[in-house]
Amino acid sequence: MHKHLIRAGSLALLVSTLAGCASSAASSAPTTTIPVSPTIPTSAPVSTPIPTLLPTVPPTPTSASPSATSVPPRATPVPITGDLTLPRGSVKDRPLAVMIDNHPDAYPQSGLSGAAIVFEALAEFGITRYMAVFVPGVSPDVAVIGPVRSARSYYVEWAKALHAVYTHAGGSPEGLLLAQTSIEIINNDGLRSVSGPYFRRSSERPAPHNLYTDSVSIAAFAASRNLETPDLSEIGFILKPDVPASQRPTSQRLSYYFIYPETYVGWSYDPTTNNYLYFRGSKPDIDSSTGEQLRFKNLVVMEVPESPVPGDPKGRIEQQVVGEGAARIFHDGAMTKATWRKGAGFAQLRFYAADGTEVPMNPGAVWIAAIPSLDNLTIEGGL
């Protein structure tokens, strides 16, 4: 595994440095009071303060810096309903792929519980980023999504496979170029005047960790582009039934890290619901929109080579997400060894078993983590 970053003793300094890297680019966007609690609870479910909901109807884009818009009263956390199942051939409208901040100043994030797919990968300085994929007709309308952060080229490659409305706030030079030139996606950059009215900022968090949007606003932006809907029939997964409760193990735990072992991600299997619960280290990770711990039916951990971008002053990396590599798939408290494959452009990311057949998923949402080495993955229990 590539070891191009200073390790544990410098982690706090690197996190602090990253917080300031994009602040100047983000400072020009309008500010709206969207209260957000930055505290991560230690148990779940809990009642967590959430951002005041964004307007359900986006403002008409009339200028690069729209005026602040009044917001509805504070709402209490509500469950996100639906099983978020994405069978192949079911997608009728472009998915909404949103880059979500994972810097400590962004905790807890909002909206991940409504995503049918979440991609998790490194950004820079050992800090990861999410791309949450909301699918119209599968995901519910999600009223608060964010904080929204910047593009990276490898996330754009994943978004291209989905013909997504790729939603972000600026990006690396390579990421911006790919997002602006890829015909497979609709580029929705919150730092550009054409997209700015569809985003809001919170006054309770420092930039750049305070930019939010919602699924209605993203869909409205996409409609304003007046583009034809492409063929989406290849998007989605082949499915299988959940294993009966009597055949599930009593427990399974797994954890992985990207560069620093002390900043690991944990998942704990719940045989009653057949879900995996997400932990940030040892603490339950809470969706601020729902007040509940994140949980997913299917986990994919894939090994993706990474290397530093030559000469990049901000320590950005590149990842080889077109090609193939080893993967591990978890559902029903069991692990399946697999190979991931993806071609360029609209080619889908697929997962294959040792016999060459595609690995089916359980009905429900899918979390995909791209880590530099499967040596960083630890598994306890399960089948």
Quick: pLDDT tens for 332-350. 999 999 999 999 999 999 9
Task: Name residues whose C-beta falls within 8 Å of residue 8's C-beta, 6 or more positions apart in sequence.
Answer: 260, 262
Q: What number is the average pLDDT over the span 272-287? A: 96
> To the nearest whole percent, how much of the chain has pLDDT over 70?
79
Q: What number is the average pLDDT over the span 338-364? A: 97
| Structural contact between residues 130 and 122, judged by C-beta atoms closer than 8 angstroms | no
Quick: pLDDT tens for 243-256. 999 999 999 999 99
Q: What number is the average pLDDT over the span 317-343? A: 96
Q: What is the pLDDT of residue 50?
A: 34
Q: What is the pLDDT of residue 263?
A: 92
The model's confidence at residue 45, banded by pLDDT at 50, 70 and 90, is very low
Q: Please report which helix (H) or strand (E) contains residue 210, including its range.
A: none
Q: What is the pLDDT of residue 355?
A: 96
- b/e per residue 202-214 (b: at least 16 CB within 10 A): beebebbbbbbbb
The separation between the first and the last C-alpha atoms of the chain, rounded to the nearest angstrom, is 28
Q: Rounded mean pLDDT of the chain?
A: 83
Q: What number is the average pLDDT over the span 5-31? A: 38
The model's confidence at residue 54, banded by pLDDT at 50, 70 and 90, is very low
The model's confidence at residue 220, banded by pLDDT at 50, 70 and 90, is very high
Which residues on adjacent β-strands are paired with residue 21? Answer: none
Q: Spelled out in words, what is the top-level CATH class assigned to the domain 10-37+45-383?
A: alpha beta
The model's confidence at residue 126, banded by pLDDT at 50, 70 and 90, is confident
Q: What is the pLDDT of residue 2?
A: 39
Helix ranges, 94-236 (H): 153-161, 173-181, 215-225
Q: What is the pLDDT of residue 341?
A: 98
Q: What is the pLDDT of residue 318?
A: 86
CB neighbours (10 Å) of residue 285?
A: 22
Q: Is the pLDDT of residue 69 over 80?
A: no
CA distance 211 to 188: 13
Q: What is the pLDDT of residue 25?
A: 38
CA distance 106 to 97: 18
